[in-house]
Amino acid sequence: MRSQGQVRFIKISSRMQMGAAAAAAVLALGWAGSMGVMAWNNYVAESSIASFQAEKARVASTQERLKAYGDNIDSVVEDLKARQETLDALVEMLPEDIQAVDTNVTDSREEAAETVEKVGAYFPQSRGLAEVEARQLAFVENMTRYADWRAARAERALRMLNLDPQAMERATRDDVRAAMGGPLEILATSADGSLDPRFERLGLSLARMSALELALDGVPQIAPAADQRITSAFGYRRDPFTGRAARHSGIDFKGPLGSPIYAAAMGQVSFAGWKSGYGKCVEISHPNGMMTRYAHLSRIDVAVGQSIDAGETLGGLGSTGRSTGPHLHFEVRINGRAVNPRPFLEAAPDVLKEARGSNAIRSNSPRTRD
């Protein structure tokens, strides 16, 4: 080794060389062993998947199921009961207070029990199937109660926000219906193509639950500006340019130029561009018939037709259009009529958090500038 003009020699003894060789051999063997274990695990995994696929194909065989029905109906009954027990376990997971909902859901338990007894008396071999049918009807009725319970919870939340649940539901259904299609597939619960009224009732309850909960998703619930200081409230004010009394159809948030602007709720971009008086502007149509407008932006980061989630960035705060300085002009309109956005931004986070249980909503209610 050469260091600072001096040359030094290092001698490695035979024992040290043998030790280094042994250590290298151990490392090599360990590496080979680990690779072998990985290869074996991969082989076992691939074998298990292949075995599962083969078993899946065998179970899915129609001919085997037909043979099972013909040879041993008792075995088929046991299979159906086992599957039904899984459905029953799902019913037990439903909230305890769903029975408190004032609803007109049928209760087939007594009628079903009587049917099981009669089938068992006249056709003993089919008693098990009658029991499974009774449990399936109970499952359908419980799921209907659950859907009604969730719909009532969403309806209550909308009323707390001073919104009309029926109008919100209609608007949401119309919005969804405007983008639907596909082949006609009639829902049937029997071989002759008819539909049991209890199943039809479940379908209607699920549809109403879905519409009301989607309407809730479209309620402004997130403050649209990073800086939540309100500099101009909704209603009448002195116009900053003319000094005369004028109506202000939104609320203004002051903030740093270019700071992010957020979508107050989920929806679809219906306008993105320059609008007279508003400058660079983004409008979002929500499924419940509401529209939110974000004006005076310095930049626009979204395009018309784009689906937007609540809290997604739309652009940057600016001072374009009729503006005295950097701020966001935020509007909420229902059927074209401007309404005060502030109650939604202040109340919606807590109301929606309660309506959705543990699904927390970011609480960022705006505050007025001191």
Pick left, alpha or beta for residue 288 (phi over 0 → left; psi -120 to 50 → alpha; otherwise beta).
alpha
**Do 204 and 320 share a structural domain?**
no
Residue reference for tokens 């983004």: 282
**Do 261 and 348 share a structural domain?**
yes
178-203 pLDDT, tens digit per residue, is: 665 555 455 555 555 666 777 888 88
What is the Cα–Cα distance from 170 to 177, expressed in whole angstroms? 10
What is the Cα–Cα distance from 299 to 285, expressed in whole angstroms? 20
**Do 75 and 209 share a structural domain?**
yes
Say what the pLDDT of residue 305 is.
Answer: 95
Burial of 47 (0-12, 13-18, 19+ CB in 10 A): exposed
Band (62; pLDDT cuts 50, 70, 90): very low
Band (367; pLDDT cuts 50, 70, 90): very low
What is the Cα–Cα distance from 297 to 316, expressed in whole angstroms? 6
**Do 241 and 199 share a structural domain?**
no
What rounded mean pLDDT belongs to the chain?
Answer: 76
Confirm if 266 and 311 have CB atoms less than 8 A apart: no
**Do 279 and 210 share a structural domain?**
no
**Do 238 and 206 share a structural domain?**
no
What is the Cα–Cα distance from 34 to 168, expressed in whole angstroms? 61
Q: Classify residue 22: in a domain, yes or no.
A: no
Judging by DSSP bridges, how do beta strands 260-262 and 279-285 pair with one another? unpaired
Q: Provide the domain limits for residue 206.
A: 65-181+191-217
Q: How many domains does the chain have?
A: 2
Q: What are phi and psi of 221, to 5 degrees?
A: -140, -5
Residue 364 has pLDDT above 50, yes or no: no
Q: Classify residue 36: in a domain, yes or no.
A: no
In single-letter form, the type of residue at position 257 comes to L
DSSP-assigned states of every residue in 168-210:
HHHHHHHHHHTT---------SSTTS---HHHHHHHHHHHHHH
Residue 54 has pLDDT above 50, yes or no: no
Band (368; pLDDT cuts 50, 70, 90): very low
**Do 345 and 237 share a structural domain?**
yes
Residue 369 has pLDDT above 50, yes or no: no
What is the Cα–Cα distance from 234 to 227, expressed in whole angstroms? 18
CATH number at residue 354: 2.70.70.10
**Do 363 and 246 share a structural domain?**
yes
Q: Classify residue 205: in a domain, yes or no.
A: yes
**Do 277 and 198 share a structural domain?**
no
283-306 pLDDT, tens digit per residue, is: 999 999 999 999 999 999 999 999
Say what the pLDDT of residue 61 is.
Answer: 45
pTM of the model: 0.67
For residue 4 the two structure tokens come to 């600072």
